[in-house]
Amino acid sequence: MKTKEFKWHILFIVIILIALYPIIYAVSTSFKSLNESFNNILSLIPEEPTTSAYQRVLSIIPFFKITLNTFIIASIVTLFKLITGVLAAYSFVFLDFKGKKWLYFVLISTIFIPFTVTMIPNFITISRLGLKDNIIGVAIPQLADATGIFLLRQHMRGVPKSLLEVAKLEKTPHVTILRTIVVPIIRPAILSMGIIFFINSWNEFVWPSLILKSTENYTLSLALQMFVSAEGGTDIPVAMAISVLTMLLPLVIYAFCQKFIINTFAQSGIKG
Amino acid sequence: MVNKVPPKKHKKLRQSKREQLLAWTFILPALAVFLVFMFWPLAYTFYLSFFKWNMVAPTKTFVGIKNYISLLKEKVTLQLFLNTLLYILILVIFNFVIPYILAFINTFMMKKKAKSIYKVFIFMPSLISLVVGAIVLQWIFNPISGPVAAVLSKFGITIPSWSKTQGLVIVVISLVATYKAFGYNFLVLLAGVGSVSTELIEAARLDKTPYRKIFTQIVRPITSSSAIYILIMSIVQGMQYVFTPIKVLTQGGPDNASSNIIYGGYKEAFTFYDTGRSSALSIITMIIFLVMLFLEFKYVEKGVYYEN
């Protein structure tokens, strides 16, 4: 029995090593010199650790501006997705209106619409608004999120009915119920949704690549793309350095809010 | 008594009207975004698929279903569909079948406490940008200076240049998508499998039912809603996940060997500036996805949404 289980533990440890290897490889290579990156491929500890790759990143691209762009877009998107999501979810759970089920079905269905279907019209809309090559143009189409509404609705359904009955008997207005009862109860869910929205937006590539054209308006993922070609270009350490800088924030957030994030993600599937 | 009824009813009616108004006010912000950036674009793309246009010319020429016909006549389109099928096959195995089995093993075949730590690490790559995943895996599989090549060369094996090899290029690009999706899918399936009652499994174990049978006859039917969700996400989202490594690493090459229907639609629009063909291809893609959506709602909705 024990030995039987042992082999599964080995299996999982191997999978984890495969999952972590690219991260460790990126960090290790980013501290190698250009020369070492070609000659000392397998060692995960650089012989002569150097930050020269990071210095090159700073000299090639306006790194702080680009990080700030990424941060601003992610913050706007997160804030609005939460506000629009909480309001809509409240309406779907606690209020009655005609066509509720139908509207909910239609909104949730959009999760399955491939982005190529909306890409051209959205590109035209943003261009006409004069927001091309502008980080606001990246954020605007993403101010609401179907998955967010779906998950927030699931959490709101978990709010004890008795609390709401009392509030209704006291004729508490819905805005107050939302603010003083519902939001405080589902605060952990809202927070973890926020973290997920933020990380997803931080990592986003396709839509920003259509809108942003000049390097100073780039996001991190776009800047990263400057260092790639099919066979990888030649400067591995610099490509790894900017990769590390891009994944740093999501992984740090994960390190601190790991339980939170895992719970929210795990729930996203059960019902949907 | 009789007098009191009408005002009460009236009040209730007014109240429900006020509630309707409030409900729509709450939904309006989200709905406005969806209308402008989701539903209108959907209709407009459908409209554009019947026109010849280049996104800048002042006039669009109506061509009927010519865009669809020209697409379906071309050999390249057939290749895009075949590539898409190969992508789907690989993604379903790596992003659905394997995590599903692992979730089962982790839940019912392992007892040590350490097992809950595993998911924390397995999920980690799901938080990493696809561009980072693409760029790092590309170096790991680099045929000259990558670690995989370095290890294999010690055994006298040389690896081919994957980005120039038909078939292999799709495998490597799928791996980038797998790197991103695997942890998330595992987590969702783990939650699904974890909801199966332990007593049921224990009883089956006492009857000496082999694990394979426990999986296929007990766990799979009970967890079918999570499973179908992840299966569909592996395909629908997977197709969009592979877009980024295709765009970043190969641009669909060599000779369309790594392109698929999503990337094809993108290329028609932003490389050839042919909005008609791009839209037609997108609409075809969407119809394929809608069929899967139909399956999702047929199976998942029934058992799950309405349970409470």
Distance CA B210, CA B136 (A): 41
CB–CB contact B24 A97 (8 Å) = yes
Q: State the DSSP code for B57.
A: S
Dihedral Cα B261, B263, B265, B270, nearest 10 deg: -170
What domain range includes position A182? Answer: 65-219
Write down the pLDDT at residue B9. Answer: 56
Write down the pLDDT at residue B304. Answer: 46
Which residues of chain A lie closer than 8 angstroms to B114, CB-CB?
9
CA distance B83 to chain A (A): 17
Distance CA A191, CA B73 (A): 51
Domain boundaries, chain B: 5-48, 66-307
Across the interface, of A41, A117, A253, the residue whose CB is closest to B150 is A41
Which residues of chain B lie closer than 8 angstroms to A232, CB-CB?
135, 138-139, 142
Q: Mutate one of A132, A138, A231 to test the B interface: name it (highest B CB count within 10 A).
A: A231
Across the interface, of B136, B226, B253, the residue whose CB is closest to A269 is B226
**Mean pLDDT of the region B90-113:** 90
Q: Where are the alpha helices (DSSP H) in A140-178?
A: 146-156, 161-169, 174-177
pLDDT at A189 over 90: no
Which residues of chain A lie closer than 8 angstroms to B164, CB-CB?
230
Q: State the DSSP code for B155.
A: T
Q: How far apart are the first and last CA of chain A?
A: 36
Higher pLDDT, A228 or A16: A16
pLDDT at B172 over 90: yes
Across the interface, of B48, B187, B249, the residue whose CB is closest to A120 is B48
Which residues of chain B lie closer than 8 angstroms to A122, CB-CB?
37, 41
Indicate whether A46 belongs to any domain: no
Token pair listed for B257: 């060997």
CA distance B2 to chain A (A): 25
Helix (H) or strand (E) holding B84: helix B75-92
Higher pLDDT, A1 or A86: A86
Write down the pLDDT at residue B252. Answer: 87
Write down the pLDDT at residue A165. Answer: 85
**Mean pLDDT score of chain A, rounded to an integer?**
88
Write down the pLDDT at residue A272. Answer: 34
pLDDT tens digits, one per residue of B191-245? 888 888 888 888 888 888 888 888 888 888 888 878 888 888 888 888 889 999 9
Distance CA B81, CA A169 (A): 59
Indicate whether A39 belongs to any domain: no
pLDDT at B7 over 70: no
| Least trusted range by pLDDT, from A157-166, A258-267, B135-144 | A258-267
Q: Mutate one of B13, B26, B49, B111 to test the A interface: name it (highest A CB count within 10 A).
A: B26
pLDDT at B301 over 70: no
C-alpha distances out from residue B167 to A4, B57, B87, B90, B257, Å: 37, 39, 10, 11, 7
Adjacent-strand bridge partners of B61: B52
Q: How confident is the model at residue B102 (pLDDT cuts 50, 70, 90)?
A: very high
**Contacts of residue A105, Cβ cutoff 8 Å, sequence gap at least 6:** none
CB–CB contact B55 A120 (8 Å) = yes
Distance CA B202, CA A256 (A): 36
Distance CA B267, CA B253 (A): 12
Which residues of chain A lie closer than 8 angstroms to B243, CB-CB?
206
CB–CB contact A19 B138 (8 Å) = no
Write down the pLDDT at residue B8. Answer: 53
Indicate whether A189 belongs to any domain: yes
pLDDT tens digits, one per residue of A73-118? 999 999 999 999 999 999 999 988 888 999 998 998 888 888 999 9
Higher pLDDT, A48 or A133: A133
Q: Verify cis geometry, omega within 30 degrees of 0, for the bond prior to B58.
A: no
**Domain count within chain A:** 1
| Least trusted range by pLDDT, from B4-8, B230-234, B281-285 | B4-8
Which residues of chain B lie closer than 8 angstroms to A35, CB-CB?
none
CB–CB contact B114 A9 (8 Å) = yes
- Which percentage of chain A shows pLDDT scores above 70? 95
Adjacent-strand bridge partners of B62: B51
CB–CB contact A269 B147 (8 Å) = no
Indicate whether A203 belongs to any domain: yes
Indicate whether A99 belongs to any domain: yes
Write down the pLDDT at residue B154. Answer: 87
CB–CB contact B191 A270 (8 Å) = yes
Dihedral Cα A41, A45, A48, A49, nearest 10 deg: 110
CA distance B11 to chain A (A): 14
Q: How far apart are the first and last CA of chain B?
A: 37
Token pair listed for B194: 């974890």
Which residues of chain B lie closer than 8 angstroms to A227, CB-CB?
135
Domain at B66-307, CATH class: mainly alpha
Query: What's the Rg (C-alpha) of chain A?
Result: 23
CA distance B57 to chain A (A): 13
CA distance B278 to chain A (A): 8
Distance CA B106, CA B53 (A): 54
CB–CB contact A258 B120 (8 Å) = yes
CA distance A30 to chain B (A): 11
Which residues of chain B lie closer than 8 angstroms to A113, CB-CB?
38, 42, 286, 289
Q: State the DSSP code for B163.
A: G
Write down the pLDDT at residue A21. Answer: 95
Distance CA A117, CA B45 (A): 6
pLDDT at B300 over 80: no
Higher pLDDT, B11 or A271: B11
Q: Verify cis geometry, omega within 30 degrees of 0, for the bond prior to B254.
A: yes
**Mean pLDDT of the region A9-33:** 94
Q: How confident is the model at residue B302 (pLDDT cuts 50, 70, 90)?
A: low
With CA atoms as reference, the chain B residue closest to A5 would be B110
Q: How confident is the model at residue A44 (pLDDT cuts 50, 70, 90)?
A: confident
Q: Mutate one of A1, A9, A120 to test the B interface: name it (highest B CB count within 10 A).
A: A120
Q: How confident is the model at residue B261 (pLDDT cuts 50, 70, 90)?
A: very high
**Mean pLDDT of the region B81-87:** 94
Task: Give the position of tokens 């992840």.
Answer: B230
Indicate whether A251 belongs to any domain: no
Write down the pLDDT at residue B1. Answer: 42
Q: How confident is the model at residue A270 (pLDDT cuts 50, 70, 90)?
A: very low
What phi and psi, each to the nearest 5 degrees, are found at residue B250?
-120, -15
Adjacent-strand bridge partners of B52: B61
- Domain CATH number, residue A182: 1.10.3720.10
* Strands annotated E in chain A: none
| Least trusted range by pLDDT, from A151-155, A196-200, A215-219, B222-226 | B222-226
pLDDT tens digits, one per residue of A25-37? 999 999 998 888 8
Which residues of chain A lie closer than 8 angstroms to B36, CB-CB?
125, 141
Distance CA B244, CA B79 (A): 19
pTM, to two decimals: 0.89
Q: How confident is the model at residue A257 (pLDDT cuts 50, 70, 90)?
A: confident
pLDDT at A151 over 50: yes
Q: How confident is the model at residue B297 (pLDDT cuts 50, 70, 90)?
A: low
Q: How confident is the model at residue A269 (pLDDT cuts 50, 70, 90)?
A: low
